[in-house]
């Protein structure tokens, strides 16, 4: 039987690869490195991969725009699993370099933001040379002579030091020790895993235009069914100022009665609702189920309504 194929943001040494290793060993799967998140997701849609592993949220930057945008339109895909990866950076360079040499630092813009304070303190005169990925500068160093490079050092994920044969100038340079990035496994809607009792459901919702109170009304769709939200982020829809798309994580599984009814309520009221998956929470925390909102309560209420409508309730 063929091994499952996983597209991800490569090459070796990225945080995404670290996430993928948590999901499946390279012995049990085909790893398909891609140049960006959008390509990884496109590979699943094209049938070139079975799954994609992509970052969806970081403590430093919030939702990952490219991932959210790629999932919000096009052929429906869903999140099947989430994986948390601690985010740390190492300041590394070609062998022979020292910290005193460093004036120009290559870094992905997100990496730069996450290490700003450390750099301001230790290398106040350093300038940022933007990189297209966290490992691109490492690969550049590995591939050639340092004399021609437009930078002196790079901020890279710790595994990249060994992968690319670099020298470590400083470790743990990220400003926030607890920073973490949330990765997700993306696959086809037919593969939604069954409820485990500690699940999360991800949605994209557009609010009705020009409705004062539309956000309040959307939140009440959840509240009245006893569904808590663990994440809510808004982004402009992109065609004009003032229209917003909400990316939401709700506690519970699409197969839970309360979640299903809440989502139907959104579907009836909002111009756009897309289900992006129900999957086990990485932290395995079970939601608080409020009085009257367990599945059995919904089933019993339907049975009662049937009797009331039929004239046989007692």
In the complex with a copy of itself, the residue whose CB is nearer, 123 or 131, is 131
Applying the rule CB under 8 A, the residues between 205 and 264 that interact with a copy of itself are: 208, 212-213, 215-217, 219-221, 223-225, 228-236, 238-242, 244, 254-255, 260-261, 263-264
Is position 157 an interface residue for a copy of itself (rule: CB under 8 A)?
Answer: no
Longest dimension (CA), the chain: 88
Are 61 and 35 within 8 A, CB to CB?
Answer: no
Q: Which of 25, 65, 73, 98 binds a copy of itself (CB under 8 A)?
A: 65
In the complex with a copy of itself, the residue whose CB is nearer, 6 or 253, is 253
Burial of 219 (0-12, 13-18, 19+ CB in 10 A): middle
Applying the rule CB under 8 A, the residues between 114 and 143 that interact with a copy of itself are: 128, 130-132
d(CA 293, CA 289): 6
Task: Check residue 152 and report its DSSP letter.
Answer: S
Smallest separation (angstroms) from a copy of itself to the CB of 59? 6
Is position 44 an interface residue for a copy of itself (rule: CB under 8 A)?
Answer: no
In the complex with a copy of itself, the residue whose CB is nearer, 30 or 118, is 118
Q: Which residues contact 281 (CB under 8 A, 6 or more apart)?
A: 82, 198, 199, 200
Are 59 and 88 within 8 A, CB to CB?
Answer: no
Smallest separation (angstroms) from a copy of itself to the CB of 207? 10
The per-residue DSSP string of 19-78 comes to HHHHH--TTSSEEEEESSHHHHHHHHHHTS-SEEEEEEEETTTEE-HHHHHHHHSSS--E
Q: Which residue has the tokens 């009814």?
A: 261
Smallest separation (angstroms) from a copy of itself to the CB of 234? 5
Question: Which segment (13-21, 40-48, 57-65, 160-168) binds a copy of itself by CB under 8 A?
Answer: 57-65
Number of residues that bind a copy of itself (CB under 8 A): 81
In the complex with a copy of itself, the residue whose CB is nearer, 171 or 211, is 211
Question: Which segment (2-10, 26-34, 76-84, 88-96) binds a copy of itself by CB under 8 A?
Answer: 76-84
Smallest separation (angstroms) from a copy of itself to the CB of 108? 9
Are 79 and 56 within 8 A, CB to CB?
Answer: yes
Task: Check residue 122 and report its DSSP letter.
Answer: H
Helix/strand/coil for 274: strand
Applying the rule CB under 8 A, the residues between 172 and 211 that interact with a copy of itself are: 176, 178, 180, 182, 188-192, 208
Is position 298 an interface residue for a copy of itself (rule: CB under 8 A)?
Answer: yes
Smallest separation (angstroms) from a copy of itself to the CB of 112? 10
Residue spans of alpha helices (H) in the chain: 15-23, 37-46, 65-72, 109-114, 116-122, 136-143, 158-163, 214-223, 257-269, 295-310
Binding letters toward a copy of itself, positions 3-42, x by CB under 8 A: ----------------------------------------
Question: Which segment (51-59, 87-95, 97-105, 155-163) binds a copy of itself by CB under 8 A?
Answer: 51-59
């Amino acid at each position: 039987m063929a091994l499952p194929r996983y597209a991800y943001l490569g090459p070796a040494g990225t945080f995404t690869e670290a996430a993928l290793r948590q999901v499946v060993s390279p012995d049990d799967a085909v790893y398909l490195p891609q140049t960006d998140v959008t390509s990884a997701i496109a590979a699943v849609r094209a049938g070139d991969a079975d799954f994609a592993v992509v970052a969806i949220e970081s403590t430093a930057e919030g939702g990952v725009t490219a991932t959210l945008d790629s999932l919000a339109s096009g052929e429906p895909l869903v999140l099947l699993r989430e994986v948390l990866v601690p985010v740390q950076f190492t300041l590394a360079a070609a062998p022979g370099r020292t910290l005193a040499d460093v004036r120009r630092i290559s870094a992905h813009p997100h990496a730069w933001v996450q290490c700003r304070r450390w750099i301001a303190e230790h290398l106040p005169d350093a300038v940022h040379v933007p990189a297209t990925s966290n490992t691109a500068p490492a690969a550049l160093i590995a591939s050639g002579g340092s004399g021609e490079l437009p930078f002196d050092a790079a901020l890279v994920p710790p595994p990249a030091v060994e992968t690319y044969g670099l020298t470590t100038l400083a470790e743990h340079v990220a400003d926030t020790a607890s920073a973490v990035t949330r990765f997700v496994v993306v696959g086809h809607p037919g593969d939604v895993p069954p409820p485990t009792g500690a699940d999360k459901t991800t949605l994209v919702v557009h609010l009705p235009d020009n409705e004062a109170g539309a956000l309040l009304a959307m939140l009440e769709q959840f509240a009245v069914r006893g569904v808590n939200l663990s994440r809510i982020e808004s982004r402009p829809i992109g065609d004009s100022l003032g229209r917003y798309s909400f990316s939401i994580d709700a506690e519970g599984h699409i197969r839970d009665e309360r979640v299903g009814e809440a989502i139907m309520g959104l579907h009836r009221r909002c111009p756009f609702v897309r289900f992006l998956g129900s999957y086990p929470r990485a932290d395995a925390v079970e939601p608080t189920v409020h009085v009257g909102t367990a599945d059995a309560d919904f089933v019993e209420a339907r049975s009662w309504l049937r009797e009331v409508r039929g004239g046989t309730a007692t």
